[in-house]
Chains A and B, each alone.
Chain A
Amino acid sequence: MNWITNYVRPRINSLFSRREVPENLWTKCPECGTMLFHRELADNLQVCTNCDHHLPISPRERFDALFDGGIYVEVKVPEVLADPLNFRDQKKYPDRMKAAVKKTGEKDAMLVGEGEMAGTDIVAAAQNFAFMGGSMGMYVGNAIIAAAERAVEKRCPLILFSAAGGARMQEGILSLMQMPRTTVAVQMLKEAGLPYIVVLTHPTTGGVTASYAMLGDIQIAEPNALIGFAGTRVIEQTIREKLPEGFQRSEYLLDHGMLDRVTDRRKLRDELVAICRMLMKQPPAVAGTLPTPEEPPAAEAGEPEAPEAAADPAPQAAPAEAETAAGSEPDAGSKAKP
Chain B
Amino acid sequence: MSNYLEFEKPLADIEGKAEELRALARANEEMDVEEEAAALDKKAADMLAELYKSLTPWRKCQVARHPDRPHCKDYIEALFTEFTPLAGDRNFADDHAIMGGLARLGDTPVMVIGHEKGHDTKSRIERNFGMARPEGYRKAIRLMDLADRFGLPIITLVDTPGAYPGKGAEERGQSEAIARSTEKCLNVKVPLVSVIIGEGGSGGAVGIATGNKVLMLEHSIYSVISPEGCASILWKDAEKMREAAEALRLTAQDLHKLGVCDEIIAEPLGGAHRDRAGTIERVGKALQEQLRVLGKKSPEELRKERRQKYLDMGKKGL
**Given contacts A229-B174, A256-B171, A238 and B318 within 8 Å (CB-CB):** no
- Per-residue 0/1 for A196-229: is the Cβ within 8 Å of any B Cβ (1 yes, 0 no)? 0000000000110111111100000000000011
Residues from chain B with Cβ under 8 Å of A184 in the complex: 186, 307, 310-311
What is the interface size of chain B, counting residues whose CB is below 8 A from a CB of the partner?
Answer: 52
Looking at the assembled complex, report how far the CB atom of B115 sits from the nearest CB atom of chain A, in whole angstroms: 16
Determine whether the beta carbon of A169 is less than 8 Å from that of B234. yes
A27 within 8 A of partner (CB): no
Nearest CB of chain B from residue A299's CB, rounded to whole Å: 39
Q: Is A127 an interface residue (CB 8 A)?
A: no
Report the nearest A residue to B162, measured CB to CB. Answer: A230
Q: How far is the CB of B64 from chain A (nearest CB, A)?
A: 14
Shortest distance between the CB of B194 and any CB in chain A (Å): 11
The answer to whether B179 touches A177 (Cβ under 8 A) is no
Contact A210 B175 (CB under 8 A): yes
Kindly supply a per-residue 1/0 record for chain B positions 299-318, scoring 1 wherever the CB is within 8 Å of any chain A CB and 0 otherwise: 00000000100110111111
Question: What distance in Å separates the Cβ of A224 from its nearest Cβ neighbour in chain B?
Answer: 16
- A176:B210 contact, CB within 8 angstroms: no
CB interface residues, B 161-195, toward A, < 8 Å: 163-167, 169-176, 178-180, 182-183, 185-187
Q: How far is the CA of A57 from the CA of B172 in the complex (A)?
A: 29
- Whether B224 pairs with A172 at a CB distance below 8 angstroms is yes
Contact of B165 among A213, A238, A247, A256 (CB under 8 A): A238
Q: How far is the CA of A187 from the CA of B304 in the complex (A)?
A: 12
| Residues of chain B contacted by A186 (CB below 8 angstroms) | 183
- Assess the B186–A187 pair: CB atoms within 8 A: yes
- Scan A155-179; emit 1 where CB is below 8 A from any B CB, else 0: 0000000000001010111111101
Contacting pair B314 A174 (CB below 8 A): yes
Contacts of A247 in B (CB 8 A): 167, 170
Let me know if B165 and A235 touch, CB within 8 A. yes
Distance A304 CA – B192 CA, assembled complex (angstroms) = 44
Q: A210-B175, A229-B178, A235-B165 are in contact. Are A176 and B202 (CB under 8 A)?
A: yes
B253-266 CB contact bits vs A (8 Å, 1 = yes)?
Answer: 00100101000000
Inter-chain CA distance A243–B248, complex, in Å, is 31
Kindly name the residue among A183, A215, A247 whose own CB sees the greatest number of chain B CB atoms within 10 A.
A183
Chain B residues in 8 Å Cβ range of A206: 203
Could you say which residues of chain B place their CB within 8 Å of the CB of A80? 314
- Quick check: A169 and B167 within 8 Å, CB to CB? no
CB distance from A34 to the nearest CB of B (A): 32
Chain B nearest CB: distance from A218 CB in Å?
14
B145 to chain A, nearest CB (A): 15
Contact residues in B for A256 (Cβ distance below 8 Å)? 171-173
Q: Which of B172, B176, B224, B307 meets A176, CB within 8 Å? A: B224
Q: Is the CB of A180 within 8 A of B206?
A: yes
* Cβ B224 vs Cβ A169 within 8 A: yes
- Considering only residues 207-233 of chain B, those with a C-beta below 8 Å from chain A are 207, 210, 222-225, 230, 233
Q: How far is the CA of A179 from the CA of B244 in the complex (A)?
A: 22
A25 at the interface (CB under 8 A from B): no
| A-B CB contacts (within 8 Å), total count | 176
**In chain A, what residue has the closest Cβ to B248?**
A172
Most chain B Cβ neighbours within 10 Å, of A88, A145, A184, A234: A184
Cβ contact within 8 Å between B170 and A229: yes
Residue contact A172 to B206, C-beta cutoff 8 Å: no
A314 within 8 A of B: no
**B235 contacts the other chain (Cβ, under 8 Å)?**
yes
- Asked whether any CB of chain B lies closer than 8 Å to the CB of A84, the reply is yes
- Contact A174 B183, CB 8 Å, known A184-B310, A229-B174: no
C-alpha gap A248/B166 in the complex (Å) = 11
Bound-complex Cα distance A214 to B174 (A): 10
Contact between B234 and A183, CB atoms less than 8 A apart = no
Q: Are B175 and A243 in contact (CB under 8 A)?
A: no
Judge whether A84 and B186 touch: CB under 8 Å: no
Cβ of B154 under 8 Å from chain A? no
Q: Which residue of A is nearest B222, CB measured?
A: A173
Known: A145-B311, A181-B313. A207 touches B187 (CB 8 A): no
Report how far A235 CA is from B179 CA in the complex, Å.
20
Query: In the complex, which residue of chain B has the Cβ closest to the Cβ of A187?
Result: B186
Contact A234–B165 (Cβ < 8 Å): yes
Complex partner residue of B174 from A169, A211, A230, CB under 8 angstroms: A230
Q: Is B68 an interface residue (CB 8 A)?
A: no
**Bound form: Cα–Cα A174–B318 in Å:** 11
Contact residues of A with B, CB < 8 Å? 80-81, 83-90, 138, 141, 145, 167, 169, 171-177, 179-181, 183-184, 186-187, 206-207, 209-215, 228-231, 234-235, 238-239, 241, 243-244, 247-248, 252, 256-258
User: Top 9 closest A-B pairs, CB basis?
Assistant: A230-B165, A84-B317, A209-B175, A89-B234, A229-B175, A176-B224, A210-B178, A229-B174, A210-B175
30 CB < 8 A contacts A-B: A80-B314, A84-B318, A85-B248, A86-B317, A86-B318, A87-B247, A89-B247, A138-B314, A141-B314, A169-B233, A172-B249, A173-B250, A181-B313, A187-B186, A207-B203, A210-B174, A210-B207, A213-B179, A214-B175, A215-B179, A215-B180, A229-B175, A229-B178, A230-B169, A234-B165, A235-B165, A239-B166, A244-B167, A247-B167, A258-B173
9 A-B pairs besides A167-B224, A174-B260 with CB distance below 8 A are: A84-B258, A89-B235, A172-B248, A174-B314, A186-B183, A210-B179, A214-B180, A229-B170, A257-B173
